[in-house]
Chains A and B, each alone.
Chain A
């Protein structure tokens, strides 16, 4: 099937389509091998799993009858310095000696759906009159972290058609996949199946909005509801292009071409995009051989932008067990640990600086029915709020150069990479210290965001309003 797909990839039809032009940095990954193909990136737990027909051993390698090396799954780990470890072949539970293709992990990473040849031994494959087609298999991880023997899914066919390249909705109820079964629109189409009470329903074609007389492959369902896929029947830059369609109440929207530089005159497919959509990986043969590339928008869009909080160390102290009770006959005395003593069932206090404070609560019964004061202690650790703190004037004049910096930020365990600034008027830049001049009066929301160096899925972004006057 992979050989079939390689053939399909060469069948290019150029049609017109919408493009999303944007500034994106495209980088080939360091482990790509010019003598082999690297396909189907899947990123999980700081590791990238992909398929490759590289030589895995100087002694023993698997090839087909035409001496083409077969595809196996490899894993490489992303180091904190953004380099990749030397790819290692996955163990032979998820890899069979024959072809292994795109893998998909459910949330939590404890279930894997993998594309592979349906017969895993030479003997079984030879006995099969209809060849050794591709199918989707499922494997689960046990408490010890070991994968179970993959089981075939009922949507597979052992003689009539191939299935592969699964992707599941976040709730696990829908599976999208590729098949060349007969009732399709083109060479390969995208189908879906519903998990009903633990059983996958009969495959349904996604329809003519998505599937064309050409080739549709590598669906990827993003948590946002977008279904990315590659097609050579919807036009674009050339060959297979990457598109997305969005699931709405009215059905799937018309596919949108993600544009250059994701798409090139070559074949671009298998787009795996992070949940925050700030970066992703895809496969392309733009350099002449199928390789995996990383895509980083130069100025990524950040989700969950929080207005920055002023740096202060204030809070309320209270006894949770008493908060909803009538404690009128009791006197509450709080020694705040910084020399201040406050009275009340709930007290508000601002410390002058972060630090650890030993707080004492003394509760006395005014009426004397509890003879001894109740005394408890609480070690309060006042920390700075974890945020990117934008230091700048709040009000500025137009045409004045203003310095912005992140020096007063507090990151906790978050290790920020590059800081991305958005000044709310269309201007964007990078750096921890930047200077900008507003040209028009108004109120602008300036945001500054960063990705984590150590946990690339994590981001942080805060904003503040700047008033610009004449």
Chain B
């Protein structure tokens, strides 16, 4: 029931949100790259499961072919993180059809479960391929109806799984949902969302990264969990009800940490802006991190590449005469 309410709320809000850009990480997130390590990597390097799952939602009314572009899909060259020699194989798999999103193991990234649910639409492995170093690779075309039709989302849902097959290098990459095969062009009304996010923080201490978890009306508290933050700065909560005064716990090197936070009424059906600010006197580079949020029932909350609803602080000035 909670899940149903959540998605219904999302549906309503998605209808109100003008979503024209589908890069992942999103423009508002200001995150340089997603990251996935080879399966022989050390979790201490910032990837706890060597896998990333990203969902895309396409409006039901959209009928043109869509493409999924991957920037720097190979593992080698200038962007990726080398551990010893380049020896990593990375798998990209696009899923649609029944179960692609609705399978709970996919949402919860249960790696020994049925996370790769749905119908496999396309798959490709990359190693060190200089042709794609710093370049885009295109999956597709896909017919939107190949996704999983979910009435609560008002459209079709696709899933891409990026998984380290072998090796120990870190793969840094970006995604873009497009309606053109050879360039990035937005699919109107589409959006990306994810339940567990693995990415690279900026090296520049002045850059602030953001993620925007959506808070549905049933959420009364959230528990955030992050991994391998290297104590690099802070995560502060900004929302309709908070001006950054409340901080979330951040983890140390190769450590997990959690903190629980109350949700205010104003925040329901809107988003939080979790601002990730680096240590202003530190010099931590190439910091790969993992973060996810759960509601009071232990259900993971989705982050959206384009924030849903309001997330900027709005004061409520009071006057008491005397």
User: Residues on A close to B: CB < 8 A?
Assistant: 313-323, 325-327, 329-330, 348, 359, 361, 363, 365, 368-371, 374, 376, 378, 380, 385
Contact = CB atoms under 8 A, between A and B. Distances in A.
Contacts of B242: 321
Contacts of A374: 243, 313, 315
B322 A376 contact: no
Contact of B318 (A314, A319, A370): A319
Contacts of A313: 321
6 contacts: A315-B319, A319-B316, A320-B316, A322-B243, A330-B243, A365-B244
Contact of B244 (A314, A315, A317, A369): A369
Nearest to A383: B321
Given A327-B245, A370-B243, A370-B244, A319 B315 contact: yes
A348 B313 CA distance: 24
Contact of B317 (A314, A325, A330, A361): A361
B322 A318 contact: no
A316 B322 contact: yes
A321 B245 CA distance: 11
B277 interface: yes
Contacts of B236: 369-370
Interface SS of B by simple majority: strand
Contacts of A315: 319-322
Contacts of B261: none
Contacts of A318: 317-318, 320
B319 A376 contact: no
B319 A317 contact: yes
B98 interface: no
Nearest to B247: A369
B11 interface: no
A450 B129 CA distance: 91
Given A369-B234, A369-B236, A374-B313, A380 B319 contact: yes
Interface string B280-308: 10000000000000000000000000000
B165 interface: no
A348 B241 CA distance: 23
A385 B236 CA distance: 42
B168 to A, nearest CB: 35
A322 to B, nearest CB: 7
A206 to B, nearest CB: 49
Contact of A314 (B266, B280, B313, B322): B322
A370 B210 CA distance: 13
A320 B313 CA distance: 12
Which of A321, A325, A330, A361 gathers most chain B CB within 10 Å? A321
Contacts of B321: 313-315, 385
Nearest to A314: B322
A315 B319 CA distance: 6
Contacts of A378: 315, 317, 319
A368 B278 CA distance: 12
Contacts of A317: 317-319
Contacts of A322: 243, 245, 315
A434 B233 CA distance: 72
Residue in A318, A359, A380 whose Cβ sees the most chain B Cβ within 10 Å? A318
B314 A326 contact: no
B318 A325 contact: no
Interface string B228-257: 000000101010011111100000000000
Nearest to B233: A369
Given A316-B322, A369-B236, A376 B245 contact: no
A361 B275 CA distance: 23
